[in-house]
């Protein structure tokens, strides 16, 4: 039963992202009497909404930058960097890149599920029911994502980008007033710093094993035997005995729940 619930949770997260991308398209297409598509900024009877063709243009633009949006504004950055550090610490090329990226994506959907639920309920549903305009829905979604990013962004990094943008921090009354152009790079910088700190804690134990093995081989006069040949099985044995994958995944998820 737990497996089924997890599957539906991931499916809902994926569906929410797909709906957010495809929401900009209306189900009906306006055509003129001579079967030529008219491009207009407003639609008859729906002031404040973009025309179908403009929405299509926005949709294709979002689809082209969707991978970057996923990397910039979610927990994917921290997860993929930490998993890369783990592979480096183990001196392995396993698991393959496809498996690592897939694991990072599903962990991202799991972590982002509360935020995606909020976007779905407060932005997508009202937009589909024509209770709010497209601009209002996108603004609400942006505010929700900004709130998520601000929880894990260091004030020092925000101040850095505010100074680089020549925008005094004293003019900002609340964190919600910060522009996304400042919050997004500050969030990415904070995530990279946090990921490197976590990666350092992963590297140190395996570095100690490498140094011990190298010292033992040197003292035994076995200088022709490469230390990684001996240390690799030891590192794998230690990692398996302590249930390393569970510890890594649990640490990554709880780091976003604190």
Contact criterion met (CB below 8 Å) for 194 and 78: yes
Q: Please check whether residue 57 lies inside any domain of the structure.
A: yes
What are the residues facing 43 on neighbouring strands? 46
Question: Number of structural domains, the chain?
Answer: 1
The mean pLDDT values, 10 residues at a time, for the chain of 258 residues are 44 49 41 43 47 67 72 87 88 83 89 85 79 78 84 86 75 72 87 91 87 83 75 85 89 84
Three-state SS at 51: coil
Distance CA 66, CA 121 (A): 21
Task: With H, G, I as helix, E, B as strand and everything else as coil, classify residue 46.
Answer: strand
| Domain span including residue 55 | 16-26+44-65
Residue 52 belongs to some domain of the structure: yes
List pLDDT tens digits, range 233-256: 888 888 889 888 899 999 899 888
Instruction: Give the integer Cα–Cα distance in Å for 11 and 68.
Output: 21
Indicate the average pLDDT of the chain.
75
Q: Is residue 250 part of a domain?
A: no
For residue 184 the two structure tokens come to 């997004």
Burial class (CB in 10 A: 0-12, 13-18, 19+), 221: exposed
Establish if 58 belongs to a structural domain: yes
Asked, for residue 56, whether it belongs to a domain, the answer is yes
Q: What is the pLDDT of residues 69-121, one digit of tens each?
A: 777 888 888 999 999 898 888 887 778 888 888 888 889 888 888 888 888 88
Please check whether residue 71 is in contact with residue 60, taking contact to mean a CB–CB distance below 8 angstroms.
no
Question: Residue 190 domain-assigned?
Answer: no
Query: Is 219 part of any domain?
Result: no
Res 173: pLDDT: 67
* Stated pTM of the model: 0.70
* Contact between 134 and 59 (Cβ < 8 Å): no
Question: Would 155 be classed as within a structural domain?
Answer: no
């Amino acid at each position: 039963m737990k497996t089924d619930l997890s599957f539906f949770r991931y499916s809902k997260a994926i569906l929410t992202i797909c709906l957010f991308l495809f929401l900009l398209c209306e189900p009906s297409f306006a055509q003129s009497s001579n079967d030529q598509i008219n491009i207009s900024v407003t639609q008859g009877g729906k002031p404040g909404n973009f025309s179908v063709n403009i929405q299509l243009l926005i949709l294709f633009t979002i689809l082209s930058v969707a991978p970057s949006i996923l990397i910039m504004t979610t927990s994917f950055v921290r997860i993929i960097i930490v998993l890369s550090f783990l592979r480096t610490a183990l001196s392995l090329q396993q698991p393959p890149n496809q498996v690592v990226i897939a694991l990072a994506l599903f962990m991202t959907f799991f972590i982002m599920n509360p935020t995606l639920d909020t976007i779905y309920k407060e932005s997508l549903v009202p937009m589909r029911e024509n209770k709010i305009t497209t601009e209002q829905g996108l603004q609400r979604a942006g505010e929700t994502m900004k709130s998520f990013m601000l929880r894990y962004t260091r004030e020092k990094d925000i101040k850095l980008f505010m100074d680089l943008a020549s925008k005094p921090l004293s003019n900002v009354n609340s964190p919600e007033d910060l522009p996304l152009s400042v919050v997004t790079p500050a969030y990415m910088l904070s995530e990279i710093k946090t990921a490197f700190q976590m990666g350092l804690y992963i590297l140190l134990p395996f570095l100690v094993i490498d140094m011990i093995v190298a010292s033992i081989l040197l003292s035994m006069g076995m200088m022709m035997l490469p230390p990684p040949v001996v240390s690799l099985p030891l590192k794998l044995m230690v990692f398996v005995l302590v249930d390393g994958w569970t510890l890594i995944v649990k640490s990554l998820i709880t780091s976003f729940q604190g």
